[in-house]
């Protein structure tokens, strides 16, 4: 949870208005706009005497709701530390989330925008790919030698694996000669169907993928 910033909520999560405890459910929670879901918090209070019993509400923001502080701070920190921001399937028009990837840029990192239509920050991007996110990610995962896990429902993981990033970099080094070269302005046609991309200059080649900032698709 400390590696994921969900700025606009999550359909599968409900949280206690009293103690802030979040519950990840197997099915969608069923309401929107931070409304009560009808269930109560079951956190046991100190000494195990009785449960919190605070009202649970959904986490999906409505237009006038402000973004959750904790997640916004997390996202901000991640964008500051990242060498590379990748935005997937967003027009980047809504503030403040849409401007977060620009922080990476300002701090010397690179920005990759994947979206079918033009976005607000196209001019700031080192690489723009006008294609379906599924197509791009399928190819990227293949290139990285990673399997796309089948969706079976929300899964809560206890921790992320930091060692993974180093493994990935090793693999990227081995493979960067050929498959990634079409990102490098060398004019190699992309093997995909109708995958269009623009490279502003040959100097802005692919940065090693260390950290990705993935925006939730929920609004």
> Rule CB under 5 A: which residues touch Zn ion?
16, 18-19, 21, 41, 43, 52, 54
The CB-of-1 to Zn ion minimum distance in angstroms stands at 16
Beta bridge partners of 119: none
**Cα 214 to Cα 81: distance, rounded to the nearest angstrom:** 14
Q: Is 8 marked active-site?
A: yes
**Cα 17 to Cα 57: distance, rounded to the nearest angstrom:** 7
The CB-of-38 to Zn ion minimum distance in angstroms stands at 15
The CB-of-44 to Zn ion minimum distance in angstroms stands at 10
79 labeled binding residue = no
Question: Which residue has tokens 């990935």?
Answer: 168
41 labeled binding residue = yes
52 labeled binding residue = yes
SS3 211: coil
The CB-of-20 to Zn ion minimum distance in angstroms stands at 7
**Cα 205 to Cα 193: distance, rounded to the nearest angstrom:** 22
**Cα 11 to Cα 153: distance, rounded to the nearest angstrom:** 12
190 labeled binding residue = no
Nearer to Zn ion, 18 or 171 (CB): 18
Question: Which among 8, 130, 182, 183 is annotated as catalytic?
Answer: 8
Beta bridge partners of 55: 40
Nearer to Zn ion, 14 or 215 (CB): 14
Q: Which segments of 82-212 does DSSP mark as H helices, in order? A: 100-106, 133-143, 163-175
Nearer to Zn ion, 43 or 94 (CB): 43
Give yes or no for a contact between 130 and 103, defined as CB atoms under 8 angstroms apart: no
Nearer to Zn ion, 23 or 132 (CB): 23
User: What's the token pair of residue 201?
Assistant: 């200059």
Which residue ranges are tagged as binding site for Zn(2+)?
16, 19, 41, 52
Q: Which residues form the catalytic set?
A: 8
Which residue ranges are tagged as binding site?
16, 19, 41, 52
């Amino acid at each position: 949870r400390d590696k994921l910033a969900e700025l606009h909520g999550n359909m599968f999560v409900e949280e206690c208005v009293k103690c802030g405890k979040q519950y990840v459910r197997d099915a969608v929670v069923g309401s929107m706009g931070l409304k009560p879901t009808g269930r109560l918090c079951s956190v046991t209070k100190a000494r195990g005497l009785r449960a919190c019993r605070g009202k649970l509400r959904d986490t999906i923001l409505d237009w006038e709701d402000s973004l959750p502080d904790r997640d916004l701070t997390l996202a901000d920190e991640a964008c500051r530390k990242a060498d590379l921001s990748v935005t997937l399937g967003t027009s980047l028009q809504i503030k403040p989330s849409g401007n977060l990837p620009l922080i990476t840029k300002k701090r010397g990192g690179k920005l990759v925008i994947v979206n079918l239509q033009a976005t607000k920050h196209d001019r700031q991007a080192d690489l723009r790919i006008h294609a379906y996110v599924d197509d791009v990610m399928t190819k990227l995962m293949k290139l990285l030698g990673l399997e796309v896990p089948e969706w079976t429902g929300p899964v809560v993981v206890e921790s992320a694996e930091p060692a993974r990033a180093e493994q990935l970099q090793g693999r990227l080094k081995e493979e960067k000669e050929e498959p990634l070269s079409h990102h490098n302005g060398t004019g190699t046609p992309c093997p995909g169907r109708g995958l269009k991309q623009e490279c502003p200059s040959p100097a802005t080649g692919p940065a090693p993928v260390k950290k990705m900032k993935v925006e939730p698709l929920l609004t």
